[in-house]
Chains A and B, each alone.
Chain A
Amino acid sequence: MTAIDTDTSANIDRSAMKISDEVAIEVTGMNKWFGSFHVLRDINLTVYRGERIVICGPSGSGKSTMIRCINRLEEHQQGKIIVDGTELSSDIKNIDKIRSEVGMCFQHFNLFPHLTILENCTLAPMWVRKTPKREAEQTAMHYLEKVKIPDQANKYPGQLSGGQQQRVAIARSLCMKPRIMLFDEPTSALDPEMIKEVLDTMIELAEEGMTMLCVTHEMGFAQAVANRVIFMDQGQIVEQNEPKEFFNNPQSDRTKLFLSQILGH
């Protein structure tokens, strides 16, 4: 299951990943319903700047819904979400502000197929941040170099492999210079060799101190990078702990069951 080889994980200098006291995201008493279905129940979560949080749990447990609430792709019905000191409400200004500070990567990349890679990366900076084109392109090239595909800049998404597309998606988010990154199963639509190139990019990002919330089942990644693992089931946070404790010494029965299933084979 783990696609990360031990070499990479050993290389990480964990002391470099500073976690500050500053609160990046604060979720208190959040509840959400789809129709009459209670998807998220009493979610309480505080994320400090620089934290790398991995969220796992069985399918349908509400992981995606939870992180999608954080940048208001889904609307919550009860409770409070405060991102960087701004509370999410139906106020468009607040939503705009939060969305330009929170980047997100999706399972299916969602690159814009009618735009080149470079245009994908400059679209939001130009139309949201009002950056001049030259500057936006320079930034885009910078991040494309960072995800190691500057030579593909003028191709279209359809011409790239899945792993390359996901790295473009990461670069596209980074171009907005977000302070928080959300990942929703970024590797689950990829072949094993491509998973590694995407995870490497994410690790690099973590090393630079980006605050990350990542839904993933890559347990190797969780052990190597995360400073906290959250386990969700039936729309609730069932257990959270630092990775070593979480994997070696799970407390809840549900967690034990889940871990045995996921690591069992």
Chain B
Amino acid sequence: MSETGHQHALSYVRADMLPQQEPPVSHSGPIKWVRENLLSSPLNVILTVISLYVLYAVLSGLIPWFFNSVWDARSLNECREVFLATGATGGGGACWAVLQERGIQLIYGFYPADLYWRPNLTFILFFVAVAPILYSDRLPSQMLWFTALYPFLMPWLLWGGSFWVPILVIAGLVVGYLAWMVGSRIGGSILGGIAGIVFAILWWLFAVPTLNDSIHRVVGNMRVDQVVAESTARLETLGPELTGLETRRESVRDEIAELEAIKAQAFAPIEEAVEIARETAELAFYEEEGVDPETDQIGPGLRERAEEEGQHAASAAARDPALNTVRATFLNAVDGLTEMRNEVNEISSQINIMQSERSDTEALLLNIEQLPDRLEEIERLQESATTPGAISELESVQDVVSQTYTEMGRIGLTPVESREFGGFMLALIIGLSGIILSLPLGILLALGRQSDLFLINKVSVAFIELIRGVPLIVWLFTAQLLLNYFLPPGSNFDLLLRVIIMVTLFASAYIAEVVRGGLAALAKGQYEAADALGLDYAKSMRLIVLPQALKISIPGIVNTFIGLFKDTTLVVFIGLLDPIGLSNSIRSSTDWNGIYWELFAFIGLLFFACCFSMGRYSLSLEKKLNREHR
């Protein structure tokens, strides 16, 4: 019986299909969204309330600060005067005027303003150089030649010098390659490798300075007359130009003094009105509350409210239409003064450039004049120099002579000294050169760490762990304090170079770990296939393994760069002027004493923009690589 009953229930055919229906109201629309996303449980309700409060607290502080801001002013004090005169609510906001004056410095440091195009070009070329790596599927691989040249081009563009210096340095690679070819003919790949490295290093250490010096001498000797003539002519024009600029500066300064007086005159009545309004309002408030500020103890809460009252009254008083004309005069004066200040700054920087040009040219002319004498002296000293004193004298004369020749014989870019580097540019330079230079060493270390050879493996591990185990700041102090101990006596080179060397060593340990990850992620079959093709170790690494492993490692390398870029701020502690160092020096100037948040916001935003976008890029690359690997 029951069986048949089931049989009956069993068969069923739907006659017509049901259409898609809208969900019931309680399960759709914004109400549902709010219910599900914000209020789905008691905990969630609490969280929503808390976050709304946090949002309110942050924004209610930040937005007025941001929008009640002053862009034209010459100092923090002037900003405050403007806030007072315009009756800004809450006592005013950000003083962005500091960025108008110093923003460019935060970016370029003290790099000569007329040469800004060089770091700019370096930066743009960097993108051209990395493009073929990042978009290897879309760009022709010939562009990689430029990528290879870039590390040699970059220092030349930034530091300047004769155009043949980078060429001489690149020639080291050619020398190394030739030595490798010859060496491996004679003694196999090991000898070849060693010969290549040794010859390249010998070339860089000894041949490049000597060759460079001789070329400068030859060119310099050829150009003596021309240089003297040009320099003399330049000196003649420089003098009048300088006096012209100086008189112009004086006249602008006079105008400033005049305008200052007008400003002060206009500000006085406003300030008086505002102060009176504030005081009356505060007193009225205390009276209303029934306390006497002279005799009674006043609690913090009450005082705060009184001050608030006073602030309100002050704002209202400042906006009084009766003051319209004076206020307009005052604000105009501030604008005009800011403009004039900018003009004075510009003139001053031109004067500085010209003055240093003049003193350089004068020194050069003097040196050229004394050149024959010095050359004679060198000859004399070379014959007789035996005492250490005479040797060091000889060396110093030789230095001056070769400097003179370098000046005379330079065909290329004006040199810029390391101590003029600063700001964001400095952070970028240290970060980029650290990463670029650390790549070869990092790859070697990674291969070493993977190697079966006991000694090489252990040495790589020890190096990597040593570098990673000690904070960067300790390494930077090492570079500052100790590097001179480890180098041959008498060798001395500038701090920025030392920092770059240290940062390179530091980054190489981190790159090594990234590349090791890439090597490990590579399927074992790849190694075996390379072996099966009969490739030796070097070839299989170069042709099969490394290209793939490095491609997988790019996101990790980008992340390492982000970390390194952020860490470059630490160079402030050894006296380089990175953005934070510059912000300290800005704050210590009288005009901007006490300015914090505006500078921090600017620096923070710049870093955020760079790091966040790079981070996103590396994330998307990682996803793409993951997809390709599946």
Contact = CB atoms under 8 A, between A and B. Distances in A.
Interface of A: 19-21, 31, 33, 35-38, 41-42, 46, 48, 77-78, 227-228, 233-234, 236-242, 245, 251-252
B23 A36 contact: yes
A78 B27 CA distance: 10
Contacts of A233: 17
Given A21-B2, A41-B18, A234-B17, A78 B24 contact: yes
A251 B20 CA distance: 23
14 contacts: A19-B3, A21-B5, A33-B27, A36-B28, A38-B23, A41-B18, A46-B9, A48-B6, A77-B27, A227-B10, A228-B10, A234-B17, A238-B17, A241-B11
B23 A238 contact: no
B21 interface: yes
A24 B10 CA distance: 15
Contacts of B7: 242
Closest 5 CB pairs of A and B: A33-B23, A251-B13, A241-B11, A41-B18, A38-B20
Contacts of B486: none
A33 B5 CA distance: 33
A237 B18 CA distance: 10
A240 B10 contact: yes
Contacts of A36: 22-23, 28
A124 to B, nearest CB: 25
A234 B6 CA distance: 26
B14 interface: yes
B206 interface: no
Contacts of B9: 46
A179 to B, nearest CB: 19
B454 interface: no
B135 interface: no
B67 interface: no
B145 interface: no
A239 B27 contact: no
Nearest to B21: A38
A242 B17 contact: no
Nearest to B6: A19
B12 interface: yes
Contacts of B3: 19
Contacts of B10: 227-228, 240-242
B23 A239 contact: no
Nearest to A44: B12
B18 A242 contact: no
A242 B10 CA distance: 7
Nearest to A19: B6
Contacts of B17: 233-234, 236, 238
Given A240-B12, A241-B11, 15 more contacts: A19-B2, A35-B23, A36-B22, A38-B21, A38-B23, A41-B20, A41-B21, A42-B18, A46-B9, A48-B6, A77-B27, A236-B17, A239-B13, A239-B14, A240-B10
A77 B14 contact: no
Nearest to A46: B9
Nearest to B26: A77
A39 to B, nearest CB: 10
Contacts of A31: 21
Given A21-B2, A41-B21, A48-B6, A238 B27 contact: no
A135 B445 CA distance: 56
Nearest to A228: B10
A19 B20 CA distance: 35
Nearest to B2: A21
Nearest to A235: B18
Nearest to B7: A242
Interface in B27-78: 27-28
Contacts of A237: 12, 14
Contacts of B13: 238-239, 251-252
A59 B9 CA distance: 26
Contacts of A77: 23-24, 27
Given A33-B27, A36-B28, A48-B6, A241 B20 contact: no
Contact of B18 (A228, A236, A241, A245): A236
Contacts of B20: 37-38, 41
Contacts of A35: 23, 28
A35 B29 CA distance: 9
Nearest to A250: B13
A208 B139 CA distance: 66
A186 to B, nearest CB: 24
Contacts of A252: 13-14
A241 B13 CA distance: 9
A175 B117 CA distance: 76
A20 B6 CA distance: 10
A16 B23 CA distance: 44
A133 B262 CA distance: 93
Given A19-B6, A77-B24, A238 B14 contact: yes
A241 B6 CA distance: 11
A34 B7 CA distance: 34
A236 B18 CA distance: 8
Nearest to A48: B6
A165 B375 CA distance: 89
Contacts of A37: 20
Contacts of B23: 33, 35-36, 38, 77
Nearest to A77: B27
Nearest to A51: B6
A204 B3 CA distance: 22
A241 B12 CA distance: 6
B141 to A, nearest CB: 42
Nearest to B13: A251
Nearest to A230: B12
A77 B24 CA distance: 8
A245 B11 contact: yes
Nearest to B22: A36
B200 to A, nearest CB: 50
Nearest to B5: A21
A240 B18 contact: no
Contacts of B21: 31, 38, 41
A240 B11 contact: yes
Contacts of A251: 13
A20 B14 CA distance: 26
A100 B24 CA distance: 31
Contacts of A78: 24
Nearest to B1: A21
A239 B18 contact: no
A237 B15 CA distance: 11
B434 to A, nearest CB: 41
A49 B76 CA distance: 84
Contacts of B24: 77-78
Given A19-B6, A36-B23, A77-B27, A236 B11 contact: no
A194 B35 CA distance: 46
Contacts of A228: 10
A33 B24 CA distance: 9
A78 B22 CA distance: 12
A174 B22 CA distance: 39
